[in-house]
Amino acid sequence: MHQPQPQQIVHEAEVHRQHVRLKIPIGVEVDGTRYVVDDWSMGGFGVATPITSRQPGERFPVRLIFPFEDFEVSLRLDCLMVYVDPEAERFGCRYLALSQGQLSLFRYLVDAYLSGEIVTGGDVLSVAGRDNTAEARAQAQVFRPFLEEEMAGRRWRRYAGYGLLSLAGLGLAAFVGTGVQERFLTVTTDKAVIEAPIYRLKAPIAGTVDSTIQPEAIVRRGDAVARIAGSGSASATLSSPCECTLHEWAVDPGQFAQAGEQVATLVAVDRPLVVRAQLPWNRARDLKIGQVAEITIPGKPETYRGQVDRVDFKLPLAPRRQDELLPSDRRSATVIVRPDAPFDFTDLGSLVSVRFL
């Protein structure tokens, strides 16, 4: 009885070839047609069959088929047609960009065939799922366990970035809103001065003025401030209407004053200092009695709070003196602000700025 000859595996060692050529019969499927590969290696394969569907230099996908006793293993690869020999009825291809899994399977199959090892389905599947390169294994051990954590960290960083952008947008909107409010809605003025209630004493008769108080002295209500010596034995006394101090003489002592002429100006010291501010009438008309105001005194770090005490839209009946503070404009109004905490008496006459809230 004729015994079948066992299949021979031929290994051709070539010094100048990069990859070992193997005479292990496998199959290749090109454009739906299956061919028998009679010469292949880790770099490519050759087929002793003519082909007309592809030309040298073309890139195309193929499917390598490794037949076993009860199953087949196929790999889908990209190849480059290296040559087509019509006379020898042969063509050859080279693999392009093999993955690490494909290289591992190739190496296992070649080693198994060369050593005579019987390759089972479980062996092949085990190799296909194993990565034999050191770099790929290090990546799997180091990064894969933390992949979920890393993705979560990226998400949180993205959320934090969105939050910061939102906060920046809100801050910019608040800044613009504050600027608009300060520019168009908030009433401010630098034409303001700290003053006290002022009393003007006038001569009841014509005569020479004689002072009865010392400079910077405080006089009580009813105390004599000056005497007017008229013609003959006529005389008159100018009494203080409050607890006051002398601000200035309109007619210096020893000078002659006409009847009804202002002689002296007194400043009340028993009443708190207030702020007199000048505002354009169209801005002052929006102010209300009791409205909060913020007072800034130059040279002092803290600000004072106060309330609007009075708004006066009346025009003065007589022209103001040229040297009087804050001359009134025909289109302006006077606003009196009373501070919540008293000013120092040394602040009397200070120019201030007022911001009505």
Whether 284 is covered by a domain: the verdict is yes
Q: Give the Cα separation of 154 and 123 in Å (integer).
A: 39
CATH number at residue 346: 2.40.30.170
Name the token pair of 71.
Answer: 């199953």
Contact call for residues 105 and 127 (beta carbons, < 8 A): yes
Whether 164 is covered by a domain: the verdict is no
Residues 6+ away with beta carbon under 8 Å from 239: 222, 223, 224, 225
> Do residues 101 and 15 both lie within one domain?
yes
Whether 175 is covered by a domain: the verdict is no
Whether 209 is covered by a domain: the verdict is yes
Whether 184 is covered by a domain: the verdict is no
Q: Is the pTM of this model over 0.75?
A: no
Name the token pair of 306.
Answer: 């106060």
Task: Name the percent of the chain in helix, strand, coil, to the closest 5.
Answer: 25, 35, 40
Cα-based distances in Å from 55 to 29, 30, 52, 81: 16, 12, 7, 7
Of 243, 268, 293, the residue at which a domain comes to its end is 268
Whether 230 is covered by a domain: the verdict is yes
> Do residues 130 and 24 both lie within one domain?
yes
Whether 312 is covered by a domain: the verdict is yes
pLDDT (0 to 100) of residue 328:
47
Contact call for residues 308 and 291 (beta carbons, < 8 A): yes
pLDDT (0 to 100) of residue 59:
93
CA 344 vs. chain centroid, Å, equals 43
Of 268, 289, 316, the residue at which a domain comes to its end is 268
pLDDT (0 to 100) of residue 20:
62
> Do residues 38 and 131 both lie within one domain?
yes
- The string of pLDDT tens digits covering residues 218-245 is 888 888 999 999 888 888 999 988 888 8
DSSP 8-class letter at 185: I
Q: Give the Cα separation of 1 and 121 in Å (integer).
A: 33
> Do residues 262 and 310 both lie within one domain?
no
Q: Give the Cα separation of 339 and 357 in Å (integer).
A: 14
> Do residues 313 and 253 both lie within one domain?
no
Q: pLDDT below 70 — which residues of the chain?
A: 1-24, 69, 112-151, 153, 173-185, 315-330
Q: Cα-flanking dihedrals φ and ψ of residue 208, to 5°?
A: -90, 135
> Do residues 136 and 15 both lie within one domain?
yes
pLDDT (0 to 100) of residue 82:
94
Q: Which domain holds residue 127?
A: 11-141
> Do residues 292 and 350 both lie within one domain?
yes
- 3-class secondary-structure state, position 312: strand
CATH number at residue 91: 2.40.10.220
pLDDT (0 to 100) of residue 67:
77
